């Protein structure tokens, strides 16, 4: 007899606890090979194709496209065994027919049962020609209908948090049907009961004017939810401060034009600013650090993994250039272009969006002069760059029209004082005004 194996949504790394189903790549009844992608999901960081560690026949899918699942929730079940497969697929399935635990997928954590925000998942079923039946879904917890008093005896609840939740909400635990093993009452059961108690009575549909008066509600989830969570955490945990300075970028722009005039790959303004940042961080390493609250320590980091803000159709993302301190402007330009293209096409991997130590935010592309950046937690600083425009400027004692840019530095006041932050920003401004200063710091 074939063995039915359940494949759960794996831990996709970097603290992600949930993902939204974008597109199913297999249907019930399809034959899948080991490590074949079966579903495309969208996490708070990127679009990911999830491969299945089993080979066999798909007997059930769990979750609809557009539905959000927590890590550890079932994705599909697969009938594993030579007799359940068409000719040519048996050999691939034999490796999984022993019933042993699946090998971890490359790039995933091995623990797929980490607690997460739970959601009841409905299986998507269809007829299957293979002689296997999919396991039936667990019943949705609900309040029991009116009936005689529940029999005496212990209530099947283990968690004190579940008991407190029920007590605070006025839910009678004896009136619930637990969805856990042997009728165990879970937190999800109590929350479902509370939702049923609080649900308003049906009302007639409001007139169109009343609907518009309520405003549009947009779920704060996915990328937008992750951004909101990270920015809120930054504001609540980091005592930040901001300093700024105007700089004459005329010489920097002239240097870029001269570099690009000799042929070869074009060098971007962002790449020049990034090279200036890495040189300044070498001089002021306090700003390339993070705070370990548990150990009460400031951790200075040996490498500069430079994040840069990129606007996409999905929203703002921050790809990371690894070991930026060892790259020249040409290499930085190429890497910025590569990561930006991946970001705009939605093909960035989670690893491309994590691990940054300092962020460069060129909001000047939006036509604004200045801003007060919010630090990309858990980093310690972010440099913001406004648009470079012609302005009146005193140059060599004379009023002239020069290309001026505003630079803003937001920093974590726990890692340094204003003198260090000011010194960093002044060094950046000096390199912008006179690129020869950069050569002295290399």
What are the CA-CA distances from residue 325 to residues 94, 270, 278, 381, 442 (Å)?
Answer: 49, 14, 5, 16, 10
Quick: pLDDT tens for 14-29. Answer: 556 788 888 899 999 9
Residue 147 confidence (pLDDT) above 80: no
Most confident of 136-145, 202-211, 329-338: 329-338
107 vs 307, residue with greater confidence: 307
CB count within 10 Å of CB 88 equals 8
CATH 2.60.410.10 fits 139-198, yes or no: no
Assigned token pair, 157? 């609840």
CA separation for the pair 435, 405 (Å, rounded): 15
Residues 190, 142: Cα–Cα separation, whole Å? 9
pLDDT over 50 at 160, yes or no:
yes
Weakest-pLDDT range from 6-10, 154-158, 193-197, 312-316? 154-158
Please state the separation of Cα 235 from the chain's center in Å.
18
CATH code of the domain occupying 222-441: 3.30.559.10
pTM confidence score: 0.59
Structural tokens at position 17: 């606890």
Query: Given this model, what pLDDT does residue 19 score?
Result: 84
**What is the SS3 assignment for the chain?**
CCEEEEEECCCCCCCCCEEEEEEECCCCCCEECCCEEEEEEECCCCEEEEEECCCEEEEEEECCCCCEEECCCEEEEEEECHHHCCCCCHHHHHCCCCCCCCCCCCCCCCCCCCCCCCCCCCEECCCCCCCCCCCCCCCCCCECCCCCCCCCCCCCCCCHHHHHHHHHHCCCHHHECCCCHHHCCCHHHHHHHHHHHHCCCCCCCCCHHHHHHHCCCCCCCHHHHHHHHHHHHHHHHCCEEEEEEEEECHHHHHHHHHHHHCCCCCCCHHHHHHHHHHHHHHHCHHHCEEEECCCCEEEECCCCCEEECEEECCEEECCEECCHHHCCHHHHHHHHHHHHHHHHCCCCCHHHHCCCCEEEECHHHHCCCCCCCCCCCCCCEEEEECCCEEEEEEECCEEEEEEEEEEEEEEECCCCCHHHHHHHHHHHHHHHHCCHHHHHHC
By CB atoms closer than 10 A (0-12, 13-18, 19+), residue 6 is middle
pLDDT for res 410: 97
Catalytic site positions: 413
Q: What is the mean pLDDT of residues 55-83?
A: 87
C-alpha span between 12 and 8 (Å, rounded) = 12
Token pair recorded at residue 164: 């407190």
Percent of the chain whose predicted confidence (pLDDT) is above 70: 76
3-124 folds as OB fold (Dihydrolipoamide Acetyltransferase, E2P) (2.40.50)
Cα angle 223-227-229, degrees, rounded to a multiple of 5 = 115
The domain locations on the chain are 3-124, 139-198, 222-441
Four-CA torsion 120, 107, 4, 182, nearest 10 degrees? -40
**Residue owning tokens 């400027």:** 393
Average pLDDT of the chain? 80
Indicate the pairing of strand 47-52 with strand 74-80. Answer: unpaired
Count the Cβ atoms, other than its own, within 10 Å of residue 95.
13
Confidence of residue 312 (pLDDT cuts 50, 70, 90): confident
pLDDT digits (tens, 9 = 90+) for 369-423: 999 889 999 999 999 999 999 999 999 999 999 999 999 999 999 999 999 999 9
């Amino acid at each position: 007899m074939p063995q039915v194996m359940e494949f759960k949504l794996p831990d996709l790394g970097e603290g992600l606890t949930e993902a939204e189903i974008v597109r199913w790549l297999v249907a019930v009844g399809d034959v899948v090979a080991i490590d074949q992608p079966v579903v495309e999901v969208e996490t708070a960081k990127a679009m990911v194709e999830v491969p299945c560690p089993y080979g066999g026949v798909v007997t059930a899918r769990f979750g609809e496209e557009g539905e959000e699942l927590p890590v550890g929730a079932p994705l599909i079940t697969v009938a594993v065994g030579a007799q359940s497969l068409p000719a040519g697929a048996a050999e691939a399935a034999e490796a999984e027919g022993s019933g042993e635990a699946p090998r971890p997928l490359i790039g995933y954590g091995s623990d797929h049962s980490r607690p997460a925000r739970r959601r009841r998942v409905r299986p998507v079923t269809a007829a299957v020609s293979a002689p296997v039946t999919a396991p039936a879904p667990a019943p949705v917890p609900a309040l029991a209908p009116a009936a005689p008093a529940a029999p005496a005896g212990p209530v099947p609840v283990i968690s004190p948090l579940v008991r407190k939740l029920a007590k605070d909400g006025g839910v009678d635990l004896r009136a619930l049907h637990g969805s856990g093993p042997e009728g165990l009452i879970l937190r999800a059961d109590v929350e479902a009961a509370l939702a049923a108690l609080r649900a308003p009575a049906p009302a007639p549909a409001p007139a169109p004017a009343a609907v518009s008066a309520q405003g549009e509600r947009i779920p704060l989830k996915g990328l937008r939810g992750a951004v909101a969570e990270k920015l809120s955490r930054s504001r609540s945990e980091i005592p930040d401060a901001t300093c700024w300075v105007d700089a004459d970028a005329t010489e920097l722009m002239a240097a870029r034009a001269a570099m690009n005039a000799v042929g070869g790959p074009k060098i971007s303004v962002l790449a020049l600013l990034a090279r200036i940042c890495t040189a300044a961080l070498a001089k002021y390493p306090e700003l390339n650090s993070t705070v370990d609250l548990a150990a009460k320590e400031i951790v200075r980091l040996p490498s500069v993994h430079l994040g840069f803000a990129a606007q996409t159709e999905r929203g703002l993302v921050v790809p990371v250039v690894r070991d930026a301190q060892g790259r020249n402007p040409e290499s930085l330009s190429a890497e910025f272009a590569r990561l930006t293209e991946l970001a705009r096409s939605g093909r960035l991997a989670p690893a491309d969006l994590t691990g940054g130590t300092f962020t460069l935010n060129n909001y000047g592309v939006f036509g604004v002069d200045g801003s007060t950046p919010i630090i990309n937690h858990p980093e310690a600083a972010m440099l913001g760059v406004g648009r470079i425009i012609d302005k009146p400027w005193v140059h060599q004692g004379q009023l002239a029209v020069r290309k001026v840019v505003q630079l803003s530095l937001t920093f974590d006041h726990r890692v340094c004082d204003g003198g260090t932050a000011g010194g960093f920003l002044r060094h950046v401004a000096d390199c912008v005004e006179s690129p020869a200063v950069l050569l002295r710091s290399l």
